[in-house]
Chains A and B, each alone.
Chain A
Amino acid sequence: MIERAASSRGTLTASATNLEHRAFSFRSSCGRILAITTNTLTELTRQKVFYVLLIFALILIGSSIFVAKFTFQQEFQILKDVSLGAMSIFSSLLAIVATARLISQDTEDRTIYTILAKPVPRFEYLLGKLSGVLLLLAISIAAMTVLFVVLLYFREQVVLGETVRQLKNVPPEQLNEALNSIRAAALNIDIFAGVSVILLKACLLAALTLLVSTFATTNIFTVVVMVFVYFIGHFQATAREYWLQQPQTGWLDRGFLALVALIFPDLQAFNLVDDIVAGVAIPMTIFMKTMALGFFYIAIYTLAATFVFYRKEL
Chain B
Amino acid sequence: MSRALFVLPAILVFGVLKLPTERALASQHRQSHFAGAELDLDLREKVGQLSFVAALSGFRAVLADFLFIQAHVAWERTEWGRVLLLFRQVTALQPHVTLFWDMAAWHMAWNASAAAMNDPSQPRLALRVKAQREYFAIGKDFLERGIRNNPDNPKLYESMARLYREKYNDHARASEFFRKAADCPGAPSYDQRFSAYELSYCQGWESQAYLQLRRLYDEGERERLPTLIERLKYLEAKLNIPKDQRIRER
Contact = CB atoms under 8 A, between A and B. Distances in A.
A308 B69 CA distance: 48
Interface stretch (A40-48, A82-90, A126-134, A149-157): A82-90
B227 interface: no
A81 B53 contact: no
Interface in A231-278: 231, 234-235, 237-238, 240-241, 244, 261-263, 266-269, 271-275, 277-278
A293 B97 contact: no
A267 B58 CA distance: 8
Contacts of A279: 96-98, 153
Nearest to B2: A311
B126 interface: no
B33 interface: yes
B10 A89 contact: no
A68 B69 CA distance: 8
Contacts of A308: 3-4, 6-7
A269 B135 CA distance: 38
B7 A307 contact: yes
A280 B34 contact: yes
A240 B19 contact: yes
A290 B25 contact: yes
Interface string A73-113: 11001100110110011000000000000000000000000
A312 B34 CA distance: 42
A127 to B, nearest CB: 18
Contacts of B180: none
B11 A304 contact: yes
B34 A272 contact: yes
Contacts of B50: none
Nearest to A281: B32
B245 to A, nearest CB: 27
B25 A289 contact: yes
A173 B99 contact: no
Most buried by B among A82, A269, A296: A269
Most buried by B among A230, A231, A279, A312: A279
Interface in B55-90: 56-62, 64-65, 68-69, 72
Contact of B12 (A70, A262, A282): A262
A114 to B, nearest CB: 23
B58 A271 contact: yes
A77 B189 CA distance: 24
A150 to B, nearest CB: 21
A151 B14 CA distance: 42
B29 A269 contact: yes
A237 B7 contact: no
A177 interface: yes
A262 B36 contact: no
A119 interface: no
A280 B33 contact: yes
A286 interface: yes
A261 B57 CA distance: 16
B124 interface: no
10 contacts: A81-B61, A174-B190, A215-B4, A234-B58, A235-B56, A271-B58, A274-B36, A274-B61, A286-B29, A286-B32
Nearest first, the 9 A-B pairs at minimum CB distance are A262-B15, A85-B62, A278-B96, A274-B61, A81-B61, A278-B97, A81-B65, A275-B36, A308-B3
Interface of B: 1, 3-4, 6-8, 10-12, 14-16, 18-19, 21-23, 25-26, 28-29, 32-34, 36, 39, 53, 56-62, 64-65, 68-69, 72, 94, 96-99, 103, 153, 188-190, 222, 225
